[in-house]
Amino acid sequence: MARSGLCPICRQHKTLTKHHIYKSCVWRSKPETQTKIFYVCRKCHDAIEIEITRRENVILTMYPDLYEGVVDDFVSGKLKPPKKRGRRRK
């Protein structure tokens, strides 16, 4: 959903896009986070996403065992791979 207005970050009048403060793919199970949104221009939206990814990666580098643990869980059978799905046809 886009609308025209003043970007609160760069202070320019532009087309604004909706930005979820909490990533929907991570916080979907917490309904109270889905209403935390604001509107920014595309350039600022992209800058926010790049910075969030950078900070997430800093945190993830503190937990290298996470990656090996996932592989170990699959190899040990604790986790099962998803069942193969048929190909989608157009």
In a domain, 19, yes or no: yes
Neighbours of 40 (CB within 10 A): 20
In a domain, 44, yes or no: yes
Identify the sign of the CA torsion 35, 41, 47, 53.
Answer: positive
In a domain, 6, yes or no: yes
Residue-wise pLDDT for 24-71, tens only, equals 777 777 877 777 888 999 999 999 999 999 999 999 999 999 999 999
- C-alpha span between 65 and 82 (Å, rounded): 23
Query: Is the Cβ–Cβ distance between 1 and 39 less than 8 Å?
Result: no
- C-alpha span between 38 and 45 (Å, rounded): 10
Residue 21 has pLDDT above 70, yes or no: yes
Tell me how many domains the chain contains: 1
In a domain, 21, yes or no: yes
Contacts 24+ apart (CB under 8 A), 75-81: none
In a domain, 83, yes or no: no
In a domain, 16, yes or no: yes
In a domain, 85, yes or no: no
In a domain, 86, yes or no: no
Domain ranges, residue 25: 2-76
- Supply the pLDDT for residue 32: 79
